[in-house]
Structure 1
Amino acid sequence: MKNFVMAAAAALLLSTAAQAKDFNIPSEKPVASISMPDGWTANETDSGLEGTSADSAVYFAVDISETGALDKTIPEAAKFLEQQGVKIDPKTEKQKQDKLNGKDAVFVSYAGTDKDGPATIGLAIVVLDEKSSLILTYWGTKGEEDKHGAEINSIVGSIKAAK
């Protein structure tokens, strides 16, 4: 997997065969659901869910946000990543507008570093409706993250708006 945008696009084409645990975002009054693969550590947060691969090579989070507050989203996500020891190289920024499971989405990817060295970093905003959006945050250690491509595709492909 070369970057988050490629993983998200591939997820639209792949089916999910791996076993997974389903979560509602947020758990009370859900606006969306997501599945995390077995073997991943998954924790509910105040605004969503975060998960880490068994070898800690990949981190993936989904958070709920108000659609009207999206202008603050990327800076807040970058601040969170910085607090986790992830450094973004802003010169490597790539943006793409697309659909994710039928919803409008903006994908932003970067190169950078984490505690283990070079890393791929991705952020995405998925607009569910006029009130709610999902913020996806991803980073993976280069070389190691490739082992988790199918799992990442299954996570991204599992994201669905609540009915």
Structure 2
Amino acid sequence: MRRFLFAIGLTGFLTVFLAGLAQAGVFKIPEEGATAISIDVPDSWNPNVSDDSIDTASPDRAVFFWLTVEKEADVAAVKAEALKALTRNGLKIDLAGVKESTSAFAGIDSTEWVYSATDNGQPRTVKIRATALGNNRFIQLAQWGPQAAFDKHAAALTKIFASVKAVGK
């Protein structure tokens, strides 16, 4: 009987423990402010959060992204800031081959730019998105990695980005 009760107790403990490991973090960015965004990122993506941004990588470190709230004049300035940061980090981005599209992000109209790039001689895809929150504040999303990795992690990325919500707007 003791073994049986021990087995049930151990099973319960492991269930709760493993469920805790599988939970994702919900982050509010910026942490203070009238209008912010929230995003739900799985712990396996090892999110790094600061006052106004989150950056993370897929578990295999093939796809990277950051999401931040920026104060800029317009979407072109948001894109320019992201491009500067990405090139400072070593990406060589083909600016001439950009593909631009519009769609909803966090329930708000947004613009996305997709570029071909290289990193240490390896081909990469770069995606930058700007979403207006109002009062010259924008959500800036930058993603990069090999296209095959974007394809591999498409379901997880879709779920993560579908979790983005404007809070306090």
Which 10-residue stretch deviates more, 27-36 or 102-111? 27-36
The DSSP-based 3-state class of the residue aligned with 1:85 is: coil
2: CA distance, partners of 1:46 / 1:80: 18
**Cα 1:71–1:143, aligned 2, differ >3 Å: closer, same or farther?**
closer
Between the two structures, name the one with larger relative contact order (CA 8 Å, sep ≥ 6): 1
For residue 72 of structure 1, what is the aligned residue in structure 2? Answer: 77
In the aligned structure 1, how far is the partner of 2:162 from the partner of 2:121?
27
How many angstroms apart in 1 are the aligned matches of 2:76 and 2:28?
A: 25
Radius of gyration: which is bigger? 2
Counterpart of 2:149? 144
CA drift of 1:116 comes to 6.8
Shift of 1:79: 1.2
Other structure's SS at 1:57 match: coil
Percent identity (aligned): 32
Segments ≥4 residues shifted beyond 6 Å: none
Give 1 or 2: higher helix fraction. 2
The question of 1:107 aligning with 2:108 is answered no
Partner residue, 1:158: 163
Matches within 5 A, 1:2-21: 19-21=23-25
- Where structure 1 has 5 or more consecutive residues not aligned to the other structure, the ranges are 1-17
Task: Confirm whether residue 25 of structure 1 aligns to residue 1 of structure 2.
Answer: no
Q: TM-score, normalised by structure 1?
A: 0.80
CA RMSD of aligned residues (A): 2.0
Aligned ranges for residues 75-86 of structure 1 at < 5 Å?
A: 75-86=80-91
Partner residue, 1:14: none
Letter in 2 for 1:27: E
